[in-house]
Amino acid sequence: MGIMTAAKTSVLATALLTLQATALWSQDATQNAEAFQLDLNSVTETTEGSCRLTYVAANQSSTALDRASYQIALFDGQGVVTRLLVLEFGALSEGKTKVLQFDLADTECGSISRIVVNDSPACIAGDGNPSDLCMNGLVASSRTPIQFGI
């Protein structure tokens, strides 16, 4: 009888762990589905002596944005903040992906070690109201040697 009870307990524990894992996976999938993804996709030196940052912005949420902007901080190789600036991303409807380029005048790409999203000065939903999606839903990534994050 003790062996049968242990087997039932083991099956019950496995079932509970499976349900818990499924609930966590569903929660992660929902959070990612409501994300605003911002990828530093490439950096290029321009002939004018600027560093061109190319971002891919993807609004994977169910909230249309009339306006999104980000204040970013640039760090040099020693970890010192060299510049604060605001990048305007404009409007992004739900499910929309947009590619944007920003030229940083008098800045060599190699002088930037890290970019941090400091704040979102403007995040206006399609209904005209402020939204917290731009920061609370932000998922930042980089495909470049420059670190990019929150």
pLDDT tens for the chain, residues 1 to 150: 555 555 554 544 444 444 443 343 334 434 445 689 999 999 999 999 999 999 999 999 999 999 999 999 999 999 999 999 999 999 999 999 999 999 999 999 999 999 999 999 999 999 999 999 999 999 999 999 999 999
Q: Is-above-0.85 flag for pTM?
A: no
How high is the pLDDT of residue 57? 97
Q: Which of 148, 143, 112 lies closest to 42, judged by CA?
A: 143
How high is the pLDDT of residue 149? 96
How high is the pLDDT of residue 39? 98
- Sequence ranges of the domains in the chain: 1-33, 35-149
How high is the pLDDT of residue 26? 38
35-149: which CATH topology? Immunoglobulin-like (2.60.40)
How high is the pLDDT of residue 66? 97
Say which residues have a Cβ less than 8 Å from residue 52's Cβ, sequence separation at least 6: 43, 44, 45, 46, 101, 102, 103, 104, 109
Distance CA 133, CA 35 (A): 8
Q: Which one-letter DSSP state was computed for residue 111?
A: G
Check residue 7 and give left, alpha or beta (phi > 0: left; psi -120 to 50: alpha). alpha
Measured torsion, CA atoms of residues 21, 23, 29, 32, in degrees rounded to the nearest 10? -100
Say which residues have a Cβ less than 8 Å from residue 128's Cβ, sequence separation at least 6: 66
